[in-house]
Amino acid sequence: MIDVHAHLTDSNFEKDIATVISDAKIKGVIAALAVTITKEDFVKVIELQSRFPDFIVPCLGLHPVQGTQTEQRSLTLKDFDKDVELLIDKYKDVIAGIGEIGLDFSPRFVSQEGSKDEQKQVFIKQVDIAKRMDLTVNVHSRSAGRPTIALLKELGVTKAHLHAFDGKPSVAMEGVRQGYYFSIPPSIVRSEQKQKLISQVPLENLLLETDSPALGPVKQERNVPSNLNIVVDYIAKVKKIDPSEVKHTTSQNAIKLYPKLARLITK
């Protein structure tokens, strides 16, 4: 299994990241894409990859919500300074994708006039980087599923991965028709929306994620990569197939989208 979206530099993992990764390997997780939120996360993710090169594959990008957990705000153009692109260029040979990037139109983040537009502008800038480097975009689209997919289509994006998609299955299917992929977290066990989503999205367009430390099977409890088996079992149950088929197909999907994962699979 491959975890295609995890925040493993989060403060929740400061004391025991080695144990978390060891436990994941024991449970059959062979790799994890570590994504970023702020520019400050970039070097942290690269350092984590250097510590665990046989498990961590980094993605770099600015999340549409910035700030601290207690003082969150919408992304602005000022956040996308020259260092962002310089750092991405510096680590272009290591990173597998650009992310976590996207749109977040939750009312508390876009109450100010122009917030949506600034998010879109920074998203477009990061999509342009991904296209220039021929990398997949690892996309956040909370309360913005339809506009996110519409913008990806408008920008001519062919390699897109939408994580923890919270829109309607009919909207997700618009992405499926574009060849986009959707990753499912362990919170599926308590999310009717996610359950409806996997009933319609083909296995050939599904991926596994944890979004660790968030979106675990139990609300407010720390999520970890070893919880991927929960996702596998749920998808297998809904689609009436063997869990081994879910593991194989989602792993192949991940390698197709993120070729740098291949070196870990062949070990």
Q: Is there a contact between 85 and 92 (Cβ–Cβ < 8 Å)? A: no
Residue 5 annotated in ligand binding = yes
- 79 is annotated as contributing to ligand binding: no
Q: Do 118 and 76 form a contact (C-beta atoms < 8 A)?
A: yes
209 is in an annotated binding site: no
Q: Binding site annotation covers 211?
A: yes
C-alpha to C-alpha distances, 78 to 52, 132, 144, nearest whole angstrom: 33, 22, 22
Residue of 50, 44, 105 lying closest to 74 (CA atoms): 105
* 71 has binding-site annotation: no
Confirm if 65 and 109 have CB atoms less than 8 A apart.
yes
CA proximity to 142, closest of 195, 101, 179: 101
Task: Count how many Cα atoms sit within 13 Å of the Cα of residue 85 in the half-sphere of its side chain.
Answer: 14
Say whether 63 counts as a known binding-site residue. Answer: no
Annotated binding site: 5, 7, 100, 140, 163, 211
Annotated binding site for a divalent metal cation: 5, 7, 100, 140, 163, 211
